[in-house]
Chain A
Amino acid sequence: MYDFVSGPLAWLSFIIFFVGIIYRIIWYVRGLDWQMDRVAYRPHRKYGIKGAARSIFYWLLPFGTRSWRYYPSFTIMVFVFHFGLLFSPLFLPAHNIMLEQAVGFGLPTISESAADVLTILVILAAVFIIMRRIALPEVRILTKPYDFLVLAIAVAPFITGFLAYHQVGNYRVMLTAHILCGEIMLVAIPFTKLSHFVLFFMSRAQLGMDYGIKRGGMKNAKGMTW
């Protein structure tokens, strides 16, 4: 079981993940239509690139936009959550050892204890996000079981990874469960709203081009204040 999950299934999930997100990017770009979206993307590429870059940059910056500043505590949680979500699996020693075995090279790694801290932060942030979803009426009305499912898919690898690393329960079973959860998450990214992993950049770029080219970008040299 472990061999299958950490071998062929891992390969399969990575392939689905990469092909999936590349497909989504191509699908997005090909679906842009200058006349339907009412943005002349091509003739004003320079304004478009500038608008897109500003739109992505300010939104990747913690407190970089009015909206991030408007909801400070949620913003901190979202950034902590996403920082852990992205960096702990990428630079985890255990992951990179496996990566080296599989493809012959690995990424630089963080220490085991740093990984632990990040993992705990991700889990705590997720708890906060869940509580906020339940507590605030304006978020509750938007929330469906699907939102909890997606959140669970994203956090499960962290919980199981943490438990496996700390050898809680049967290590072999826990590790297998962890890898399975990780694979489920990878596969879920192209097919659920987790696709915002890449579509965030696409969508932000589009609105940035919209404002950069059509909605004032050519008249206001400073560009949109996000």
Chain B
Amino acid sequence: MPEGILCNKKTVDEKSQLDALLADKSGKQYYEEMNHLEVDSDALWAAIQKTCKSRIRTWLEICAHCGMCADSCFYYLANHKDPKQVPSYKIQSTLGELIRRKGKVDNAFMQMCMDTAYSKCSCCTRCGLYCPFGIDMGIMFGYLRGLLFSQGFVPWEMKIGTGMHRIFRAQMDITTEDWVETCEWMAEEYEEDWPGLTIPIDVQDADIIYTVNAREPKHYPEDLAEAAILFHVAGENWTVPSEGWEETSLAMFAGDWAACKMQVESVYAAMDRLKPKRMVVTECGHAYRATVIEGPYWAGLPSGQTPIESIHYVEWVAEALRTGKLKIDPAKKIKEPVTYQDSCNYIRNGGLADVAREIMGYIAEDFREMTPCREHNFCCGGGGGLNGIGRYRPERNIGLKVKRDQILATGAKLVVAPCHNCWDAIRDLEEVYKVGIRWSFLKPLLLNMIIVPDHLKPTEE
């Protein structure tokens, strides 16, 4: 049996396929079918020849086998320095071997590659900073995931995620109506406390188009309200698009490049349609990475940039504080020791380390850096889609130890984590290891600290 009913090389473009996958609890049948999935070696080798160019081939060839990347990887550290977790070993034994064998590999090999690419690498790209030749295993594992996806070797949740993007242009089953209703509902819900609060939908020529992570409308709609309140207080002329509001990309984690393109193009289309001045992306790391940093390349924009200027939420916050659009009540600054989780996706891979420090300067009295920090920070342990994959839960939980120890060493009990994956990972970290820490996005913290101008307060007060 070369192809399974659920586990196969086909992409998920129909609602019926998606429902069938979702009905298969924790992917039992899916993974069983994967054991019989045939590898199309010719197609695999053809894809490698077409897409694996001098950059990756050189990386694989000139690796000095020196091991300087070993200690850079949090998985290596968390697993008692298991040599099998050395980044170079992980990539050479998977992608390297796949190329040496010219794609002539069997099912077991492909499953080993999948297990390695997901449960032993979060694509945090830290190792690339420690290799003298600039060999970036995170990039190569991302590439390997793409090859695995094309052959159907992808974790169940990721396959579902790609289907969601293909069908709903969001990582979850949220329709345009659901989204618009959530916006309206949140505006109504908070209007009493914030007279004049709206969530403007599809307004032309706004200064800011705000886009989110689908989890916000689905699971944390208050986040949307908080964003609205902060824009309201700052006096921004902003809008959300009714379509093209989703920034995240499980397709990026899964290596489904065609779905990546569809997803970001929906956002770029909203830019074209509404002609805002710039885009602000919610507090999410991989979403920003996907839509702002990588997206233009998937969409084939030669400038490598989004059609309009795009900034991460932390950039907007820093700017609002700097320009006085948002003012912090000095009495309400965070007094207790507090640390900041540098997200790989917008700090290491987005250059926003200073911006984060600027914000902490405004809101915290006792800010403690983690060691290492900034561009050199360790992954929280939940990157690359890891938080959402049941099959690799145990490995993910072991990986969290590095972040746990980094946080504990600061002495802070509060972690500011303006990234959904980091936020989740730190929540899970507390759940697993019970070290007594709290974690937060910026929005709720800011809401408690800002000075609200009198004319924005409810009148009956």
Contact = CB atoms under 8 A, between A and B. Distances in A.
Given A40-B302, A40-B304, A203-B134, A137 B81 contact: yes
A214 B54 contact: no
Interface residues of A, number: 59
B51 to A, nearest CB: 6
Contact of B62 (A37, A78, A203): A203
Contact of A31 (B57, B132, B134): B57
A141 B303 CA distance: 42
A226 B348 CA distance: 11
A220 interface: yes
B375 A224 contact: yes
Nearest to A193: B62
A142 B62 contact: no
B383 to A, nearest CB: 15
A166 interface: no
A208 B134 contact: yes
B128 interface: yes
A188 to B, nearest CB: 13
A33 B81 contact: no
The B interface is mostly helix, strand or loop, or mixed, namely: helix
A34 interface: yes
A73 B353 CA distance: 30
The A interface is mostly helix, strand or loop, or mixed, namely: helix
B249 to A, nearest CB: 13
Interface string B43-56: 00000000101110
B63 A193 contact: yes
Contact of A139 (B67, B304, B374): B67
B58 A141 contact: no
Nearest to A56: B134
A193 B64 contact: yes
A69 to B, nearest CB: 11
A9 interface: no
A218 interface: yes
Interface string B215-240: 00000000000000000000000000
A66 B55 contact: no
Contact of B55 (A37, A144, A215, A216): A37
A143 B351 contact: no
Contact of B68 (A36, A44, A74, A147): A74
Interface string A18-37: 00000000011111111111
A90 to B, nearest CB: 22
A207 B62 CA distance: 15
Interface string B151-173: 00000000000000000000000
B331 interface: no
Contacts of A44: 304
A206 B350 CA distance: 17
Contacts, number: 152
Contacts of A140: 83
Interface in B109-148: 128-136
Determine which residue in A66, A207, A217 has the highest number of CB atoms from chain B within 10 A of its CB, and name it.
A207
Nearest to B300: A35
Interface string B303-325: 11100000000010000000000
Interface stretch (B85-93, B393-401, B448-456): B85-93
Contacts of A35: 297, 300
Determine which residue in A31, A39, A74 has the highest number of CB atoms from chain B within 10 A of its CB, and name it.
A31
Contacts of A36: 51, 53
B304 A34 contact: yes
B54 A30 contact: yes
B130 A67 contact: yes
B72 interface: yes
6 contacts: A139-B65, A141-B83, A142-B65, A199-B61, A199-B133, A219-B355
Interface of B: 51, 53-55, 57-59, 61-68, 70-72, 76, 81, 83-84, 86, 88-89, 92, 128-136, 293-294, 296-297, 300, 302-305, 315, 348-355, 372, 374-376
The 9 closest A-B pairs by CB, nearest first: A216-B351, A31-B54, A40-B304, A220-B351, A207-B134, A142-B65, A141-B83, A139-B67, A38-B297
Given A203-B135, A226-B129, 9 more contacts: A66-B129, A139-B65, A141-B89, A196-B64, A199-B133, A203-B133, A215-B348, A216-B351, A225-B375
